[in-house]
């Protein structure tokens, strides 16, 4: 067992992990942050995306011990300080960017990373960026629309599908 300490959503947290413990498992099982979803265990679906030191990563492909000392942001840390939805979360709600919600945490975390890198992406840039995130319900159209809206762009011309 190895003791790991990291700052998660602004709070220092620590725990003992086995060498094979994945970050996704540590967040969910040890820290109780179950918003990070595990959909495939093979880093194919993107449901487990979190930010490590400001970079979006698939937490099912990172060992918890590898991020000892890191700053981690999860979906639980995305809301505004008063608990209200942040601009991305609100856009997903307003533009129906979710259905079952299983992929939503990973999509929101990926969207946050994209908008940090590219504050005004084109529709194609959003679609390209989300290539590693799978949604089995929405067909992506309203997810893309939600991200475009979160960037402050007019999405009135984007037809619903």
Reported as a single tens digit per residue, the pLDDT across 20-61 is: 999 999 999 999 999 999 998 788 999 999 999 999 999 999
Q: Judge whether 9 and 70 are in contact, CB under 8 Å.
A: no
Q: State how far the alpha carbon of 148 is from the alpha carbons of 17, 59, 87, in Å.
A: 39, 25, 11
**What is the model's pLDDT at position 138?**
79
pTM over 0.85? The answer is yes
Question: In 3-state terms, what secondary structure has residue 26?
Answer: helix
- 1: which 2 tokens? 């067992």
Q: How far apart are CA 49 and CA 153, in angstroms?
A: 24
pLDDT tens digits for range 84-96: 999 999 999 999 9
Q: 159 pLDDT band (50/70/90 cuts)?
A: low
Residue-wise over 13-44: b if at least 16 C-beta within 10 A, else e? bebebeeebbbbbbbbebbebebbbbbeeebe
Q: How far apart are CA 142 and CA 99, in angstroms?
A: 10
Q: How far apart are CA 116 and CA 126, in angstroms?
A: 12
Q: How far apart are CA 156 and CA 55, in angstroms?
A: 31
């Amino acid at each position: 067992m190895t003791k790991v300490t990291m700052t998660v959503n602004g709070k220092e947290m620590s725990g003992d992990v086995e060498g094979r413990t994945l970050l996704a498992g540590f967040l969910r099982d040890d820290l109780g942050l179950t918003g990070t979803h595990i959909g495939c265990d093979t880093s194919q679906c993107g449901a487990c995306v979190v930010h490590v030191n400001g970079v979006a990563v698939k937490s099912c492909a990172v060992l918890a011990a590898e991020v000892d000392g890191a700053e981690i942001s999860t979906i639980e840390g995305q809301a505004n300080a008063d608990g209200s939805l942040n601009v991305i979360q609100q856009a997903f709600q307003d533009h129906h960017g979710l259905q079952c919600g299983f992929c939503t945490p990973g999509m929101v975390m990926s969207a946050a990373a994209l908008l940090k890198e590219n504050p005004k992406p084109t529709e194609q840039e959003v679609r390209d960026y989300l290539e590693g995130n799978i949604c089995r319900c929405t067909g992506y159209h309203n997810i893309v629309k939600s991200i475009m809206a979160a960037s402050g762009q007019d999405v009135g011309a984007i037809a619903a599908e």
